[in-house]
């Protein structure tokens, strides 16, 4: 299954695209699974789930939370988790809600995670040093890293991939789309057909997946980010 695990809708302050538009874009591009991860909001995910009923796509409800140290995604989340908590407390809240925590664009330019990821992993998963020498089952599976984000500039994706590999961490991929054109530019390919949300997340936790997608050119990224800024202005003006 092709899973785009980081998508925003008009329920985010920096998007003007409806859940329906994002779901339709994903279907047209052959994406099998879409995670709606609006900033501080779950209404977009709920609306997308309703619209996708009977259609050939699975919607994972999610949320993007701004912790004190940086953004954290929660997948399979059906409640709002407040901003402003520590990263450790935010991840704890995600786990208590039955979700999976992911650090998105951890080394992205202007959107990087400001906390100490190594210490966070030690606190959350009990892994103090690099663990690439360990067998797959040896590392804890409570925190994942987004290693492929279609919207960031620079070498952040490569650094994130190296980091995830060094610490034997689960990994994800997502377009970070805020408008239909960017949906599905990158995705995580998970083996199996018609998987449930729980089955997909288990495959991710076991690192049984691979990143796929086309390289997004600089111009398309600029256009996408301009669209975000226009949406911000419009939303703030309301």
pLDDT digits (tens, 9 = 90+) for 91-134: 999 999 999 999 999 999 888 999 999 999 988 876 544 444 44
Q: For 50-202, where are the E strands, in sequence order?
A: 58-66, 71-75, 100-103, 143-149, 171-174, 186-189
Q: Domain locations in the chain?
A: 2-237
CA–CA distance, 38 with 153 (Å, rounded to integer): 21
Max CA distance (Å), the chain: 53
Q: Give the number of C-alpha atoms closer than 13 A to the C-alpha of residue 131, restricted to the C-beta side.
A: 21
Strand 33-36 and strand 2-7: pairing? parallel
2-237: CATH architecture: Alpha-Beta Barrel (3.20)
Query: Is it the case that residue 219 has pLDDT exceeding 90?
Result: no
Query: Is it the case that residue 138 has pLDDT exceeding 60?
Result: no
Beta-bridge mates of residue 33: 3, 58
pLDDT digits (tens, 9 = 90+) for 156-215: 999 999 999 999 999 999 999 999 999 999 999 999 999 999 999 999 999 999 999 988
**pTM, to two decimals:** 0.91
């Amino acid at each position: 299954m092709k899973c785009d695990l980081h998508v925003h809708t008009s329920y985010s302050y920096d998007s003007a695209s409806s859940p329906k538009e994002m779901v339709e874009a994903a279907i047209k591009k052959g994406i099998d699974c879409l995670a709606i991860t609006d900033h501080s909001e779950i209404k977009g995910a709920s609306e997308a789930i309703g619209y996708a009923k009977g259609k050939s796509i699975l919607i994972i409800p999610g949320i993007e939370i701004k912790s004190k140290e940086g953004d954290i995604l929660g997948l399979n989340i059906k409640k709002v988790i407040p901003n402003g908590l520590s990263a450790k407390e935010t991840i704890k809240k995600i786990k208590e809600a039955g979700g999976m925590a992911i650090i998105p664009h951890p080394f992205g330019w202007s959107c990087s995670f400001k906390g100490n990821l190594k210490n966070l992993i030690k606190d959350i998963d009990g892994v103090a040093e690099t663990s690439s020498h360990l067998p797959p089952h040896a590392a804890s599976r409570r925190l994942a890293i987004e290693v492929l984000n279609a919207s960031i500039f620079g070498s952040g994706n490569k650094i994130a991939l190296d980091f995830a590999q060094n610490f034997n961490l689960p990994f994800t991929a997502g377009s970070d789309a805020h408008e239909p054109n960017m949906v599905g530019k990158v995705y995580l390919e998970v083996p199996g057909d018609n998987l449930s949300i729980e089955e997909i997340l288990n495959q991710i936790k076991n690192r049984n997946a691979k990143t796929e997608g086309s390289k997004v050119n600089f111009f398309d990224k600029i256009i996408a980010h301009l669209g975000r800024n226009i949406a911000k202005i419009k939303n703030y003006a309301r």
